[in-house]
Structure formats: C-alpha cells, structure tokens
Amino acid sequence: MPVKLYEKEKVLDSCFIMFSKYGYRNTTTAMLAEKAGISKALLFHHFKSKKKIYLSVLERIFDKMSLEVSDELLTEYNDYFEARANSGHDKISYLRSNPEANKILLEAFQLTPDELKADIKMFSLKIKKINYFCQTLTQSISYIPGQIVVPSGSASHPPTARFSRMY
C-alpha cells in the first residue's frame, strides 16, 4: 500500500528537520521515525533505507529551490545573459533564507559521508543533465515582453524529455 502523498510530505518534513539538525551520520532511523510519528518498520516500508530517505530529502530541497529560483527567470529579465548573471545571486539568496537546506546541501556536496559518495555523484549527474536541458531550452526560447515564443520544429528546439524520480 503506497504512502499517502500528504503523509510522505510530513515524513520528509520531519526527516529534513532531523538531517539539518544532526547531519546524516548523527541521525538514526529511530530518530527519524520518532520525529515523523511513525514506526521504524513503516519508515523502512516506504523508504527502504536511511540513505534513500536522505536522497529523497535532498531531491526535495532541489525541487523547492528550483520552484523559487528559476520560475521567474524568463519573465523577470529581458535577456538570457542577464538572467544567467542573476541566477547565482538568486540561489545564494535562497540558501541564505533557508539555512537548514543550506546545511544539508553543504554536507551532501562538500562533506559527503563515505557511504553516500556514489549516490551523491549520481545525483549530481542527474542535476547536471536537468540543468543542461533547461539551458538548452532557455537558449531556444525568444523572450518578448508579455509572451514567450518557442520555435516549433526548429533544429534549436530541444527534444522533449521526461524526468522521473531517481529514488
């Protein structure tokens, strides 16, 4: 029986708090289950391992950050280069206003626990592929105030891609 979406979000919220407070190494599955208000058995039934929970929390951080940082990219700026110059600033501002997410990202990408290194590398490759797709898409879009024009059938139009959850 799949976990209900709202329950899964609640569990991930609880896990996010614990990982940001204690880090991956110092957070136990017992702590995660207790904070989420569920049994360890139910936690493992839905997430299989502490590593999968951590990677789900990490993916969720990127999902939330991408909603706040890049949604306005095309409409807020008049040209692609201006948008790219400001995107780094937007990401830094996001991380400053979300220190718990910043702490988890720092641990994941700079202080990576040994048991997560291979998974974080795969996660990074996934993010790079998505960024490349988005950059290619952004470069093929003409911005005219009030409308976005995507050339259809042109060689510069990237192929349609489907991204599914990795974990």
Distance CA 29, CA 48 (A): 11
> How many independent structural domains does the chain possess?
1
Q: Is 48 left (phi over 0), alpha (psi -120 to 50) or beta?
A: left
Could you tell me if residue 56 is inside a domain? yes
What was the pLDDT predicted at 26?
95
Host H or E run for residue 142: strand 142-144
Instruction: Report how far Cα 129 is from the mean position of its chain's Cα atoms.
Output: 13
Q: Within a domain: residue 38? A: no
Residue 154 lies in a domain: no
Share of the chain above pLDDT 70, in %: 66
Structural domain of residue 92, as residue ranges? 51-149
Number of C-beta neighbours around residue 31 at 10 A: 16
Of the two residues 145 and 12, the one the predictor is more confident about is 12
pTM: 0.68
Is residue 91 included in any domain, yes or no?
yes
pLDDT tens column, 38-68? 999 999 988 889 999 999 999 999 888 877 7
Asked, for residue 35, whether it belongs to a domain, the answer is no
Token digits of residue 41: 């058995």
